[in-house]
Chain A
Amino acid sequence: MTDESPRSFGFETRAIHAGSAPDPATGARATPIYQTTSFVFEDVDEAAALFNLQKVGFIYSRLTNPTVAVLEEKLANLEGGVGGTCTSSGHAAQILALFPLMGPGDELVASKKLYGGSLNQFANSFPRAFGWKVTFVDPDDPENFRKAITPRTKALFIESLANPGGVVCDIRAIADVADAAGIPLIVDNTMATPYLCRPIEHGATLVVHSTTKFLSGHGNSVGGIVIDSGKFDWRNGKFPALSEPEPGYHGLRFADTFGHLAFTIHGHAIGLRDLGPSMAPLNAFLTIAGVETLALRMERHCANAKAVAEFLKGHPAVAWVNYAGLPDSPYHALAKRYLPNGAGAVFTFGLKGGYEEGVRMVESVELFSHLANIGDTRSLIIHPASTTHRQLSPEGLKAAGATPDVIRISVGLESVDDIIADLDRALNKLG
């Protein structure tokens, strides 16, 4: 689409204003929290037009809600997409992204270096609940995706910057593989955020987020979103849910009738309607407030993370640091290309000791919070082997990059000297 006029606003301006016009009903300057389940119809004709998708408006907050819609438009704008569908969590966004593409027996090729929760969702629940088969490949060589594609493959799935290993994917090369196969590339952009990386500019069709992390940014609301680039033509025979008559809407063909907006309208009219994982208006409100300061926060998150990574690298109790922002990272070149403004604020490092030292580390820090989240104003720490990954065997821990020596941190926005001093004190206790 060529909707963008030559003079477009900068990222910071759009983060604050896109989608967030004053409330049309009241003029309220901050987006109001529309804490209501439903919206009255003017008359029966209006109701019919709304239910037939012939009129754009609000019916019921499982499908659309004015507060949530502001966040959808804002994030779609920041990612350079045509529209977005907010969900109750990042995991729900992943289901909603795949739901229109996949049927029982269909296949997904995914990076094997994904957030551990996504690996579980893909490997265990998707096949069992939906009959979707997922093949995992090493994303470091884009050829691996091509080799794993079969006639039943309906999408490729990667993380731009993977949680937690400091892995950066060659988005353009993998998008080219997807294009050649006539299937979309889906990119989880949670760790990078659109401030650091905009996968659609590198050829991605769909972008998903856990808005729980840096987008909401304050550790106070779980949420997710699917954003469509509007660039994929769903009528190539592989995506009947979008191209064939939909019985729930009198035989409507979404791709024919809604063109480049089909995926987003389907996401609300079928995805949220039938699966039901909608975002709560209060969570949308808190996330909108978070996104307004995204640029400032990410700049500082990245600066603090880089300083912390450099400090850790020089500490005698630390064996290695996996941060793509360090020049000796194997992903440094890809980070410079895809994350020119910073390599994010979440990474792992290895202790010279093992399991006992890992436990002692997370129990000795005082400023860091010991918990299972990332992307908060607060600095966060976790020892995967004793927490998130404790059900895995030694081989499983190795494959997941969660050996007993591994510590993951999410560097927050406290004074960087205080963050470093806290780690230094805890590391020195390991002796």
Chain B
Amino acid sequence: MTSPLRVIGADRVDIEGDQVSLLITRCLDCASSWFPAREQCSRCGGTRVDGDRISGQGTVYASTTVHIGAGAFPTPYALSYVDVEDIRLLAHTRSVRPLAPGTPVVLVLGEVGADGTGALWSYVAVPRTDGEVA
């Protein structure tokens, strides 16, 4: 019997196999998009919002390799800000080297660290070519 994976941010995404899509909110009044999903638009304050699900394909805005870090993540580890449609989010990066701005990536499920209880997983940015994971 295997215990379920412990995924940081599991409630923010949909996971099928190793593919990750983002659960977002769109405001029906001012058209703002939000991640993680929320019940109220934090731009106009309106509550007329719809949930949506978008694919995890995006582009790296910026990236770094962290040598002095925090939490349960063994150093060095790489982080990237990724633009997925009009959403900007932070994600771990599978390679230890920083990714160049503009690198096309896809978000997949990956192991990012460990604590006393065991492995920790989350959505991880991986470079892609033509929609394929490189």
Q: Do chains A and B stick together as partners?
A: no
- Tell me the B residues contacting A by CB distance below 8 Å: none
